[in-house]
Chain A
């Protein structure tokens, strides 16, 4: 009906038609009307709130009431650079993020390989659902479930007991397990997608040239899928770097997130200054990831 009436009416008389002509003639307006909402979101809501926090890194707080005092100072930065505890905590967190990333990659690769190259469509679909399933569960429920599993009386120690072994679950090793569990899907999916994108013809070409499966894997498959692994590692690394709930529940050590969370209430400027550390680490990480062509695999 509409199309008929549009066809009958003169193009100039229909407001919709006029708008579309206007947009056609003004590509800049067209672009901005497309991007206005996301730019507003990123620029004002996301960056804006971040800037408000980071600005306070250059202020100080009243030693008694902890209220923000708007007086320019670099003491907060001096403190997090000079006091060894902040360095130790940052280093511990980065190490944890790296170890979690490696564990996720090692676990995800064979699984993704099986899903992309070997499994039947039916099994593959089932596996995709199985990998995605944990993402539907609440983060807190999973973290508390792991507290129960890692407890001295929990499932792991129950299984180890007959072997005469004991595992101290509430430790950084336990935390490493929990993080690996929590972030594994974020690694599996990009790697799976990356493997699926490799054209069959390349593998056949390698075989035609006399490459056996091992050679093909290392010379063709792995280099092609590596950017996807790096893409997945961006998630596992940054999620570990910023998390503060799992460390509180599982470990008795401090991590960047837990320090910022606690100091946020009492020494906001110090927390804000410390927030520069993970930001710098992630910026550095993304630059390396870009070099490794990971962004094309996202």
Chain B
């Protein structure tokens, strides 16, 4: 008897805890503060000389990066006195919550992070006067909706690339040039349990890209801004694919590289970084931008609005735009540089051609990551699209 009443108390206590939390949550309601969009960062020097002097005092810079992005860090430290600390992000959502933790000075963000960060005010416009390499950056990549607002740049472009279809050449025909290998019924059956898929809600856009090409009736224009009907079609396609997927890689490049090396994965989506690493290891893999087009990213270094080391961060953004750093990172990650002066410095003299750095038409069917939004990110008031939150909820369901 006694024991029974004790167990009862434990449940009552849990119930009370929940109730107390609810009260606290309700009490705190209404106190939400909007991210104030200040354009200035505290402590930033007001001339390049002052920034350089301040940087010597700051002595370090804390960066969030996509794996492999920060290059020539020793040279940077020697020149500026700023020690470089990096933290790898796995998804754009991951990088946003890292930046909002307040422990970092900035990072290299993709479009689906930048538009949100500009909205919340976690990043601020930059003064390009202090970016000595600014004029050398391709004009076509400046002033895009994912790196600027009202003509005001919010960061320094880093480089761009597509999400490729990668496959093992000993398992998949070498002339494969279509995404159908990971979407069509008979192909799925063939590669069952050996398909490798990026584990993030943004992958819904990859399904949308395929539907855009194969089911024009759906009328998909922008694979990130989907109406209910288009969204349902993409989710259905992904749910059909799910049982055949061998591995979802959550931005964990090591895991995917290991799978392709061992042959546990033979086909799927990848970043060029994994391909470059696999090539170094002599794994029989190939990448292709399929004929349907693909998703991709055009990344930007941005500075946190409350950065602790803004001076070092400014110098870092400039450093990453320099021909030397651009050449190094373009080859290390396997992407197209945005400063074409880098093309003379790459070890592989054809790198810029192979990665289409200067061939704008090649990028026409590369849809850069951006954030789904209710207004479809257009001026047409009559349409509504599924939001980022909807994508996220759907992704959990797709994964099952």
Q: Which residues of A contact B (CB under 8 A)?
A: 51, 54-59, 61, 63-72, 79, 83, 85-86, 88, 144, 147-148, 151-154, 168, 170, 248-249, 252-254, 259, 262-267, 270, 276, 279-280, 283, 287, 290-291
Inter-chain CA distance A259–B31, complex, in Å, is 29
Q: How near does chain B come to A158, taking the closest CB pair, in angstroms?
A: 12
User: Are A64 and B119 interface neighbours, CB within 8 A?
Assistant: yes
- Known pairs A70-B30, A71-B29, A88-B400 / 6 extra A-B pairs, C-beta < 8 Å: A64-B371, A69-B32, A70-B25, A83-B393, A263-B392, A265-B96
Q: Please provide the chain B residues from 369 to 400 with a CB less than 8 Å away from any CB of chain A in the complex.
A: 371, 373-374, 387-390, 392-393, 396-397, 399-400
Contact of A254 among B31, B245, B400 (CB under 8 A): B400
Q: Which residues of B contact A290 (CB under 8 A)?
A: 3, 6-7
Expressed in whole angstroms, the Cα–Cα distance for A153 and B387 within the complex equals: 42
A196 vs B263: C-alpha distance in the bound complex, in angstroms?
Answer: 48
Residue of A nearest to B399 (CB): A254
Pairwise interchain contact B93-A58, C-beta atoms closer than 8 A: no
Give Cα A100–Cα B11 distance, bound, in whole angstroms: 26
For the complex, count residues of B whose C-beta is within 8 A of A: 54
Q: Tell me, in angstroms, the Cα distance from A64 to B10 when the chains sit together.
A: 39
Segment touching A, from B79-87, B247-255, B357-365: B247-255
Beta-carbon contact of B94 and A265 below 8 Å: yes
A66 touching B94 by the CB < 8 A rule? no
Contact B24 A55 (CB under 8 A): yes
Is A55 within 8 A of B25, CB to CB? yes
Output the nearest chain A residue to B20 by Cβ-Cβ distance: A51
- Cα distance A51–B35 in the bound complex, in angstroms: 24
Q: A58-B22, A63-B387, A72-B26 given as contacts; is B396 within 8 A of A85 (CB)?
A: yes
The verdict on A72 contacting B22 (CB below 8 Å), with A248-B250, A252-B248 known, is yes
Q: How far is A168 from B247 in the complex, measured between Cα atoms in Å?
A: 12
- B200 to A, closest residue via Cβ: A262
Q: Nearest 6 pairs between A and B by C-beta?
A: A58-B25, A63-B387, A63-B389, A72-B26, A265-B93, A70-B32
A229 to chain B, nearest CB (A): 20
In the complex, the answer to whether B396 meets A66 with C-beta atoms within 8 Å is no
Give which listed residue, A66, A85, A151, A270, contacts B264 with CB less than 8 A.
Answer: A151
The smallest beta-carbon distance between A66 and chain B, in angstroms, is 6
B201 to A, closest residue via Cβ = A266
Nearest opposing residue in chain B for A154, CB measure: B262
Interface check B120, CB cutoff 8 A: yes
30 contacts between A and B (CB under 8 A): A54-B21, A57-B21, A59-B28, A63-B387, A63-B389, A64-B374, A67-B100, A68-B32, A83-B397, A85-B396, A85-B397, A85-B399, A85-B400, A151-B258, A152-B263, A153-B262, A153-B263, A170-B193, A252-B247, A254-B396, A259-B396, A262-B199, A265-B93, A265-B94, A265-B97, A266-B392, A279-B14, A283-B14, A290-B7, A291-B7
Most buried by B among A86, A152, A263, A291: A152
List which B225-243 residues lie within 8 A (CB) of chain A.
none
- On whether A266 and B388 interact (CB within 8 A), knowing A70-B32, A254-B396, the answer reads yes
Taking CB atoms, residues of chain A closer than 8 Å to B246 are 170, 252
B283 to chain A, nearest CB (A): 12
Assuming the contacts A61-B389, A85-B396, A266-B392, asked whether A152 and B94 have C-beta atoms less than 8 A apart, the reply is no
The smallest beta-carbon distance between A278 and chain B, in angstroms, is 13
Taking a contact as CB atoms closer than 8 A, the residue among A66, A68, A253, A280 that contacts B14 in the complex is A280
Chain B contacts for A168, CB-based, 8 A? 193
Contact A63 B388 (CB under 8 A): yes
- Do A70 and B28 touch across chains, with their CB atoms under 8 A apart? yes
Q: How distant is A82 from chain B, measured CB to nearest CB, in Å?
A: 12
Q: Do A67 and B264 touch (CB < 8 A)?
A: no
